[in-house]
Structure 1
Amino acid sequence: MVKLEVRCGLSVKLLDISDAQTLFSLVEANRSYLKEWLPWLDLTNSHLDSEAFIQSTHQQYHDGLGIMGGIYSDNSLVGMCGYHPIDKINRCANIGYWLAEKSQGQGIATTCVAYLVDYAFTELQLDQVSLSIAEHNYRSQAIATRLGLSRKGIKRDAEYLYDHFVNHICYSVNRTHWLERKAID
């Protein structure tokens, strides 16, 4: 089992196929909340869709393209966090995440994203990490800002959400800046 211990009581774990129903139930319970920012909810209609997703995360990990795992807080699945497939040639990655609505506001996403940024630079030897955040998703923008990622620009019509396009704000940090900032903190 692949499990990253973020801190006591908080981890990111590669899900097993046996976790498909739990993942689907979490998505189902948060469907209307998550639909504001995530485009894939209409494609997730049963635990079989969650199984297919979990299989894709295993393939991504097996191919050396990074972990996309379940966020576990006190042994309960509360969301997902990880790397959209790592670009090995350019030594960079984009991090994606989502949390159940009831798990918001506890620092879980900020802590997990910080861990994955650090892991990307110290363990995976990447040089750049990015977050691509919907223009009006102010909570996610606050995470990027808190962690010291720089706003690099806006990608117009970056994502189609059900009946409209949304712009994304691109944030990034390079290894040198992250490690220098970490040394100061």
Structure 2
Amino acid sequence: MALLITETLRLRSLEEADAPALWTCITRNKAYLQTWIPWVRDWNTADQVLEYIQDALHQIDAQEALSLGLFSEEQLIGIVSLQEWDHALGIAELGFWIDEAFQHKGIMRQAIRRMMQFGFTEMKLNKVEVTFVRNNKRVQQLMERLGFRIEGIIRNKLLHQGLPADRVVAGLLKQEFI
């Protein structure tokens, strides 16, 4: 599966052959990624990346989640996903990250918009949710630009850099998506 964003940007299903590129991207960005994404700390081998890709493909087949690689030209630069797909309610949770070298260029905003467009039209979602650490102001600003509304703050719900931190829950309904 592939979703075009621009002539040079696209989202597509990961393949086992993408494992070395994904591993390289994660290791190159590990210090920055693990600040916000706890599981990155636990990824220490290329085999774990291959298992992630295999699991992502299984989840696509089982219609449990949709995790796609974000590519600039042919270079893998991140992941955008709709996870925890609840078919009965038509809700999924957005997840994403991008190579630090590609930040602040509007790429992730475009990629998320394209993924949400697919989610609302093809996956028949009614709502997309996202959760993030309260002090992650860049993600909060991005979500607000995309039309997400903060629905709640759960105090001390996450560990952030070893300390309890608040978890923000934001959502976007299909009818709010422009």
When normalised by structure 1's length, the TM-score is 0.91
Alignment partners' CA distance in 2, 1:158 and 1:117: 26
Identity, in percent, stands at 24
Alignment partners' CA distance in 1, 2:46 and 2:105: 28
Q: Is residue 43–residue 49 contact of structure 1 (8 Å, CA) maintained in 2?
A: no
- Aligned pair count reads 178
Q: 1:41 Cα shift? A: 1.6
When residues 52 and 162 of structure 1 are mapped into structure 2, their CA distance, relative to the original with a 3 A threshold, is farther
Q: Match of 2:19?
A: 20
Q: 1:87 Cα shift? A: 1.1
Q: Match of 2:31?
A: 32
Summarize deviations over 1:124-158 as a string: whole Å, max 9, x none. 11111111121111111111110111111112233
Q: Which runs of 5+ in 2 are unaligned?
A: none
Q: How does 1:122-161 map to 2 (within 5 A)?
A: 122-161=121-160
Q: 1:162 Cα shift? A: 5.1
Q: Is residue 84–residue 94 contact of structure 1 (8 Å, CA) maintained in 2?
A: yes
When residues 112 and 158 of structure 1 are mapped into structure 2, their CA distance, relative to the original with a 3 A threshold, is farther
Alignment partners' CA distance in 2, 1:59 and 1:160: 29
Partner secondary structure for residue 36 of structure 2: coil
CA RMSD in angstroms comes to 1.3
Q: 1:12 Cα shift? A: 1.2
Letter in 2 for 1:94: E
Q: Which runs of 5+ in 1 are unaligned?
A: none
Alignment partners' CA distance in 1, 2:155 and 2:33: 21
Moved over 3 A (4+): none
Q: 1:24 Cα shift? A: 0.8
Q: Match of 1:66?
A: 65
Q: 1:85 Cα shift? A: 2.9
Summarize deviations over 1:69-109 as a string: whole Å, max 9, x none. 11101221111111113111211011100011111001111
Partner secondary structure for residue 158 of structure 2: strand
Alignment partners' CA distance in 1, 2:111 and 2:64: 18
Partner secondary structure for residue 7 of structure 1: coil
